Structure 1
């Protein structure tokens, strides 16, 4: 799991300026406000992807650290992880789910995934600020 998270961080820093990278490192993912999921192949146990929910307050959450392994891309892993996160949000009474992703072409599949699941563009939220390298999205639950 650490290897996939480290790959995620490397790609974020290779794709975006350092000040625009908001991916969490493995230690930050252990914070009590974070709930973390992993998806594994049922037969082999191989890690397919990861995702996290950061709960900001009683009604607002944020998708963090979504990553699908290269071998598992286009197999619905990210949609399955997102479904788990959405289910948990509904259980907790979270009514607003937000996220930040990049504006570069590298992030086009992520933006398409979130749009497919009903997320709409919005401005910065929580501690984020206007940044030409960041796209912000929200889903009202």
Structure 2
């Protein structure tokens, strides 16, 4: 299966449907206070690079984003809104989206990629560990949450 990954506006009906599927999945696993989704308007901000993966029929089958952050002491890109439709899983698409976002972070001058995910997201946790992420404590505005896993990866 061949995929194309490009930066897109998330405010299209097809992409909104993917984001809503990801939201519903997160809501099925965690209470609202443990879900940290960037809302649609935030995904369109200047500091966010939002990408969509499309299949050979040009159907949107995956999403991902990085939000560029700088708290004055340290700068990082945060991985957000990673989602692949169930039918496209197991084909390396999540890894390809992640790789694309790492290139975008480096290209924007960021050498550190961080993320928050949930403890029940086993496939995501396995992907992040396989691709060099290590566990760490909360960062930015996050607080300790027994349902959250915080990770980071140096991109140098």
How does the TM-score come out when normalised to structure 2? 0.85
- Equivalences for residues 26-105 of structure 1 within 5 A: 26-41=40-55, 43-57=56-70, 59-104=75-120
Q: Is the 8 A contact 1:9 1:25 kept in 2?
A: no
Unaligned stretches of 5+ residues in structure 1: none
3-state secondary structure, aligned to 1:62: strand
Q: CA RMSD in A?
A: 1.2
Residues matched between the structures, number: 138
Alignment deviations for residues 65-113 of structure 1 (CA, whole Å, 9 cap, x no partner): 0000111011111111101111011112211110000012xx0000000
**Cα separation, 2, equivalents of 1:100 and 1:80:** 19
Q: 1:4 maps to which residue?
A: 18
The list of structure 1 runs, each at least 4 consecutive aligned residues, that deviate by more than 4 angstroms after superposition, is none
How does the TM-score come out when normalised to structure 1? 0.93
Offset of 1:6 from its aligned partner?
0.5
3-state secondary structure, aligned to 2:152: strand
Q: Is the 8 A contact 1:59 1:93 kept in 2?
A: no
Unaligned stretches of 5+ residues in structure 2: 1-14
Offset of 1:26 from its aligned partner?
2.1
**Cα separation, 2, equivalents of 1:121 and 1:17:** 22
3-state secondary structure, aligned to 1:7: helix
